[in-house]
Amino acid sequence: MSERFDGQVVLVTGGGEGIGRAAAVAFARLGALVVVAGRHPETLEGTVKLIRDAGGRADSVTADVSDTTAGAGAAHVVAETVRRHGALNVAFNNTTELGPHQSVADIDETVWAETLTANLTGVWLSMKHEIAHMETAGGGVIVNTASNIGAQGMLPGLGAYAASTAAVSALTRTAAREYVGQSIRINAISPCPLGRGAGVEEIADTVVWLASDAAAYIVGHDLVLDRKTSE
């Protein structure tokens, strides 16, 4: 089984920094044409430059994937990726926001709604349009970013974040069962968002492996990345 992505088009949302950037660079190193998407064109172009300077192929699409306006958001990202490059083989949905550190009863309604929109609705909309394309194309692979806070409830004060990322995990497992028969393989990762788990390059390597043929037997799994390091 191969971990190469030669001839494949890989979309990375939240690809301008952190885990998204590391994953984009890793996919490109293994032969993929990588499209990074996000709200900030300057950080996206930074990722594109890193990849191109290393001899890889990359492109960017500026958009907020949680935007529900017709023809915008995730719909625009997927449509532009396919229009420019003719395919979408792998998608890594990596848009997460922690939000403020507040106890559950102190969370403002606006903060709650914004956190769920960023972390859950954005992933759902991305999957919605990615799956629609992959169904017609004969298959594909999707990896979503959840969180081990959502999976384990390990840190008080991030209730909205924990709820939204736990929902991403549940959404991932449901979608995996719904679309595995159409050769669309869907999984999630749950890293620690506060730097106490694996580093971004290690997380990126895990994403690449999950998306590769080497992990073809893994479907509907949320892989918790919780290696402990010293404070």
Pairing relationship of beta strands 90-93 and 222-225 according to DSSP bridges: unpaired
pLDDT tens digits, 186-219: 999 998 865 555 688 999 999 999 999 999 999 9
pLDDT tens digits, 18-76: 999 999 999 999 999 999 999 999 999 999 999 999 999 999 999 999 998 888 899 99
Percent of the chain having pLDDT more than 70? 92
The rounded distance, in Å, linking the Cα atoms of 14 and 5 is: 20
Ordered structural domains, the chain, with CATH: 9-225 (3.40.50.720)
SS3 190: strand
HSE (side-chain half, CA atoms, 13 Å) at 50: 23
The rounded distance, in Å, linking the Cα atoms of 51 and 18 is: 15
User: Quick one: 196 exposed, middle or buried, by C-beta within 10 A (0-12, 13-18, 19+)?
Assistant: middle
The residue behind tokens 């996206």 is: 44
> Model pTM greater than 0.75?
yes
Phi, psi for residue 154 in degrees, rounded to 5: -90, -10
Q: Which pLDDT score, from 0 to 100, does residue 199 have? A: 84
Catalytic entry in 5, 92, 161, 179: 161
CA distances from 110 to 16, 106, 120, 160, 163 (A): 26, 12, 15, 11, 15
CA angle 113, 118, 124 (to 5 degrees): 105
* Averaged pLDDT score across all residues of the chain: 92
Residue 155, token pair as written in the block? 């840190």
Cβ neighbours for 165, distance < 8 A, ≥ 6 positions apart: 96, 119, 120, 145, 146, 147, 149, 150, 151, 190
The phi-psi region of residue 157 (left if phi > 0; otherwise alpha if psi is between -120 and 50; otherwise beta) is: left
Contact 40, 31 (CB under 8 A): no
Question: Could you confirm whether 217 is annotated as catalytic?
Answer: no
